Structure 1
Amino acid sequence: MTKQRNIPISLPVTGEEEWQAIREPLMTGWLTSGPKVKEFESLFAERHKVKHAYAVTSATTALHLALVALDVGPGDEVIVPAFTWVSTANVVLYQGAKVVFVDIDPKTFNIDTKDLQKKISKNTKAIIPVHLFGLCAEMDAIKKVSGDIPLVEDGACAAGAEYKGMPAGGLGSIGCFSFHPRKSVTTGEGGMVTTNDDQLGEKLSMLRNHGASISEEQRHHGPKPYILPEFDIMGFNYRMTDLQGAVGVVQLKKLDQFIDARNEKALYYKEKLKEIDWIQLPECPQNSRHGWQSFVTLINEEKSPLKRNDLMEVLQAKGISTRPGTHAVHMLAYYKELLGHDAEDFAGAKLANDCSMAIPLHNRMVDEDFEYIIAALKNI
């Protein structure tokens, strides 16, 4: 009898290198945003082929800064996929704008461009395509129907992901990333906002630092200690610390190694699980490089011997952690009351909400973990 294993849904890969990396800021005393954050930003911009990258406190604050930089405000509409993490919608409300939900394609969990076309209006100020679970949205199709409307990439799950050979982060007007521990690379908490637009870049840099015209590092290392920054705009304190930046530098150098390993195991899952007709496996178009933040399946409850939730309980009892992919935001109590949508208004999002199931895929898993999970699913 196979011995029961304990396999978490996700675990970050951190160790001696990350431990040693934080020694320098701790010893120098430069703990706030400084040289390590600057190095992390430079490496991230180079890897993602963008002109500007600014480290912030989370993907949520990156998204918020993006909408502020685009002057989104009351009377504006921002289109958001109905199936995403709640912060994608919340940042629209922070700006007093209206959230307009669009359905998703359950095969990819990304924006349904046919529904998107129906939702664009004269008040649409921005669209937030989400590269959910690490798969880039179909950006060419989105651009075709959106015209000149700014696109804010929610790439929270998509560091290192690519669409037609171009990395996420430079596919729209602004890109936003997360370094939460469930992501491929982590700084604990943290995020990055990217752009190829010089004017937006300057604005984003100021906005994340109270609206200051110069950075803390420039101010403290400059020859004129009496100079304080000018504040021409109102900003926020969304700066990343150098402790996080130091960890980020180490983690980012492992990004492609991590993604390659996840891709290998994702292909292995797909090969071994393809005979189970009640599990829809995640797709990856040939024109994309999947970031594989998560391996999210869709359970066909008409064919499955168990409902999705019952299935998750059985797997949990076997030591296999699973999670719903994410949630349908229009079905959450706050948004249901605010906008009055019925669950069925976005059929793809509702299906994904009720039937998606992420199974473990991370870089601390060993071969025996994958074999154990595959066997458990086949034995349901």
Structure 2
Amino acid sequence: MATPIQISLPSTGEEEWQATREPLMSGWLTQGPKVAEFERGFKARHKVRHALATSNCTTGLHLILVALGIGPGDEVIVPAFTWVATANVVVYCGATPVFADVDRATNNIDADDVRRKVTSRTKAVIAVHLFGLCADMDALRAALPENIPIVEDAACAAGASYKGGEAGALGIAAAFSFHPRKSITTGEGGMVTSNDDELVQTIDMLRNHGASVSEEQRHHGPRPYLLPDFNLLGFNYRMTDLQGAVGVVQLSKLDQFISERQKWAEYYREHLNGIPWLRLPIFPNTGTHAWQAFVTYVDPALAPKARNDIMEELKEAGIATRPGTHAVHMLGYYRERFGTSSDDCPGARDCDANTMAIPLHNRMEKADYDRVIQALRSF
């Protein structure tokens, strides 16, 4: 049997391995100079004033909401079709997630439904740039009162752009993910970006237990033996310097990785375009798609088999697939706690049932893409 084609594989190697030597040999393993270097590079690449590394994207989103003062009695609008963490961080704050539907064509939040969901208790909207395609930020901003901030869940969107602006600089703040399924990885890891100086100052303290200065600042200061002041109830949401060292190397490859993914996304479009039951993802003309994943839509009215049966046959052929993500309002916890129903967000419900991600990553070769194309065309 041919070698299985994975849905995703991180593109790491000798450079990343060697990058970990410096923190290992120096003894500085927690957040330190390599994390700071990664932060500087990331904010420069995404054209934003501040970048703060975190333990993962979820903790980054949590920090943003806490810094915005969101708590019990507040509502935060989130897309219903996303990874569960987008809604979870709202619950962590004691606030209520309000689910807005998504556009079946883009998988991103529907601005018209957001407008319908705004109440006097709405304190923020989280816009997810799903699979690397930026949400329609102009439409979303037009749907909201000026005082309601937009937070970007840019987990999938490192290197993406929208109408000349970089992901991470399109809302009041953003959180990115460096999970191995993302374009660049540090294993686990995240990054918060923002142009809001005051908000960033608060987030910086919150990620480090609420300390008034970081560990690196204290150890390099005149009196390292004195502990900092703690005026906030913070968290331990820091990134390690081992991860930061890997992140520096991965970031240097980001544009190359996106360029390669764009090339093969176009190849898929060219060779899969004639399959009537398979709708291909949007190729935007308003910016750069980061192509974290290539997520198709299996039309149940035209498909020769149910999506899950197609996925099973592809698995037997050695080709991994996955649903795009899930409809959070249909998950057990949210149904039981908030009384949500699948029909509340029909677009998200349909995307949950019919989306199918096919392999796209930087360790695939032409022969792999041709195998996937041949397998899909054989149905």
Fold in common (TM above 0.5) = yes
Amino acid at match of 1:257: Q
Contact 1:59 1:178 in 2 (8 A): yes
Matched, 1:37 2:29: no
Contact 1:5 1:369 in 2 (8 A): no
Of 338-347 and 150-159, deviating more is 338-347
The CA deviation at 1:145 is 1.1
Cα deviation, 1:278-304, whole Å, max 9, x if unaligned, reads 001000220120010000000001111
Distance 1:318 1:225 in 2: 60
Q: Under a length normalisation based on structure 2, what TM-score does the superposition of the two structures give? A: 0.99
Distance 1:301 1:325 in 2: 15
Cα deviation, 1:49-89, whole Å, max 9, x if unaligned, reads 11110000010000000100000000100000000000100
Cα deviation, 1:176-226, whole Å, max 9, x if unaligned, reads 000000000000000001110000010010000001111111111112123
SS in 2 for 1:104: coil
The CA deviation at 1:123 is 0.6
The CA deviation at 1:241 is 0.2
The CA deviation at 1:148 is 2.4
| Residue 120 of structure 1: aligned partner | 118
| Residue 70 of structure 1: aligned partner | 68
Aligned length: 378
The CA deviation at 1:359 is 0.1
State the Cα RMSD in Å: 0.7
| Residue 185 of structure 1: aligned partner | 184
Distance 1:13 1:226 in 2: 41
| Residue 11 of structure 2: aligned partner | 13
Amino acid at match of 2:184: V
Amino acid at match of 1:211: G
Amino acid at match of 2:165: M
Distance 1:279 1:335 in 2: 30
Amino acid at match of 1:223: P
SS in 2 for 1:99: strand
Distance 1:354 1:288 in 2: 28
Amino acid at match of 1:174: A
The CA deviation at 1:228 is 1.5
Of 3-12 and 102-111, deviating more is 3-12
| Residue 315 of structure 2: aligned partner | 316
Contact 1:129 1:152 in 2 (8 A): yes
Amino acid at match of 2:12: T
SS in 2 for 1:289: coil
Distance 1:171 1:226 in 2: 41
Distance 1:95 1:5 in 2: 45
The CA deviation at 1:4 is 3.1
Provide the identity percentage: 62
Distance 1:75 1:138 in 2: 28
Distance 2:43 2:328 in 1: 31
Distance 2:283 2:108 in 1: 12
| Residue 290 of structure 1: aligned partner | 289
